[in-house]
Amino acid sequence: MSSDSLDQIYAAQRANAGSVGATDASARIEKIRRMEKMLFAHRADIRKAMADDFRKPAAETDLSDIFPIVGEARHAARHLRRWMKPQRVATPLALLGSSSRLIHEPKGVVLILSPWNFPFNLTLGPLVSAIAAGNCAMLKPSEMTPASSACMKRIVSELFDENEVAVIEGGPETAEALLKKRFDHIFFTGSPAVGRIVMRAAAEHLTSVTLELGGKSPVIVDRTADLDEAASRIAWGKFLNAGQVCIAPDYLLVDETIRAPFLEKLVAAVRAMEGEGSRGIIVNERHAARVRRLLDSAQDGEILLGGSSSDARSLPPTIVSNVAPDSALMQEEIFGPILPVVTYRTLDEALAIIAAKEKPLVLYIFSRAHDVVRDIINRTRAGGTVVNHTLIHFYQLNLPFGGSGESGMGKGHGRAGFEAFSNARGIVEQRTRFSPIQLMFPPYTRFKQKLIDLTLRFF
């Protein structure tokens, strides 16, 4: 997109932000419901776009890209009136005669920068929250999934005028041009490296950000776990979308007492999920080469499954055991269909491995011992945690979703998404002629000092 066209859209949204922000809950809900209906109307187009970009199975597109947006839309439409309702808060005695309330007002014009791994989900999901909060939005999907970006642009243009919501196609130079503009909020999903670039650009305008990043999310399987259940759920969570999932289990920590039977079940579970049309591909040859390089770094490891492919953009589900802790496979986020396995003797040993790395986006625990689960949660730090399953917290819209530290900043989904795109504005209104604070206005006499002393002690 040309610089002039981008400037025109930005200026139009700036001029329209006041009108959009003044809309009531009914108007916003109507937009969200139209968006939900449009997704179903274009379901075949979305499936085809994802197949063109990823060879992604239609069923997987339904579950991983369409269903989360539909869920977000329905949740927001159901709860938006309550979210927008002013919230009364208690009045301290020192402010006797006043009343206070909290309202959530739109931030204005927001930018949503989305990645290539789930292009519809991670663009239109945050858009639901932005619309619910009453904002205008510019959407920049990844250039690595051109079919999905073009399809998204068609859908959005049928729903909104560009002065309210616009899809901006283009490469890194387009993203760079967008980041030079003063937005009221930036919602970015992607890698920590690019997240730093986004945050630096946002700092130039003191723009608030939500950063949904990634990292090495561990999964612990202890000796009390249901091994069949753990194997099937880890196999699904790790190899969905060819492992290109920011919340995928990145490495496996398994108790040495159940290592052999569990890995046997894990291999069987992965094979059971294989079938015609059940596997996607890596987004491009560059990323595929990066994933192969990580696999090559684990030369001392034992490949239990997979490991090679004749397709430049494909790698079969691969499980590698006995991986050296200092290998690239255990140091870098994999973001591909490789699962390294590390055996531990004591829980302290497993937790030391986790503590040596940055805070993960999510920590997975497979255990039937409640005291062990509590102990792990108390002794670790992570953006989120799932016990005895994988990935499902992304669908739980009653909980905030996001990372901590290196894995992200801020939260999204459901109410947390609405709040991310809103300014929480506190309002205090003095309702009476008398205000206790006035008794302590200057000049500061001895009597007023006594009043101040009493206030400090008792109020």
Say yes or no: 366 and 413 in one domain: no
Q: Is the residue at 434 inside a domain?
A: no
Mean pLDDT, residues 341-370 = 97
Catalytic residue among 36, 60, 72, 212: 212
Can you give the pLDDT at residue 277? 54
Q: What is the pLDDT of residue 110?
A: 98
Model confidence at 395, in pLDDT bands (50, 70, 90)? very high
Q: Which helix (H) or strand (E) holds 318?
A: strand 318-321
Q: Hey, CA dihedral for 152, 158, 163, 165, is it positive or negative?
A: negative
Are 172 and 249 within one domain?
Answer: no
Contacts for 89 with CB less than 8 Å, ≥ 6 apart? 100, 101, 102
The share of the chain scoring above pLDDT 70, in percent, equals: 99
Give the CATH number, domain containing residue 22.
3.40.605.10
Strand 318-321 with 302-305, pairing: antiparallel
DSSP 372-390: HHHHHHHH---SEEEESSS
Residue 260 belongs to a domain: yes
419 among known catalytic residues: no
Same domain, 195 and 330: no
Rg of the chain (C-alpha set): 25
Q: Are residues 140 and 225 in the same domain?
A: no
Is residue 332 flagged as an active site residue?
no
Same domain, 66 and 106: yes
Of 12-26, 113-127, 226-240, 271-285, minimum mean pLDDT range: 271-285
* 38-67 pLDDT tens trace: 999 999 999 999 999 988 999 999 999 999
Instruction: Give Cα 34 distance to the centre of its chain.
Output: 24
Distance CA 194, CA 230 (A): 33
Is the per-residue pLDDT at 310 higher than 90? Answer: no
**Is residue 265 domain-resident?**
yes
C-alpha 229 chain-centroid distance? 26
Q: How confident is the model at residue 388 (pLDDT cuts 50, 70, 90)?
A: very high
352 vs 355: CA distance, rounded Å:
5
Helix, strand, coil tally for the chain in percent (to 5): 50, 20, 35
The total domain count for the chain is 2
Selected catalytic residue, list 162, 246, 333, 406: 246
Longest dimension (CA), the chain: 88
User: How many Cβ atoms from other residues are within 10 Å of residue 453's Cβ?
Assistant: 10
Give the global pTM.
0.95
190 with 285, same domain: the answer is: no
Range of the domain at 332: 218-402
Q: What is the pLDDT of residues 421-439, one digit of tens each?
A: 999 999 999 999 889 899 8
Asked if 454 and 165 touch (Cβ cutoff 8 Å), the reply is no
Position 431 in a domain: no
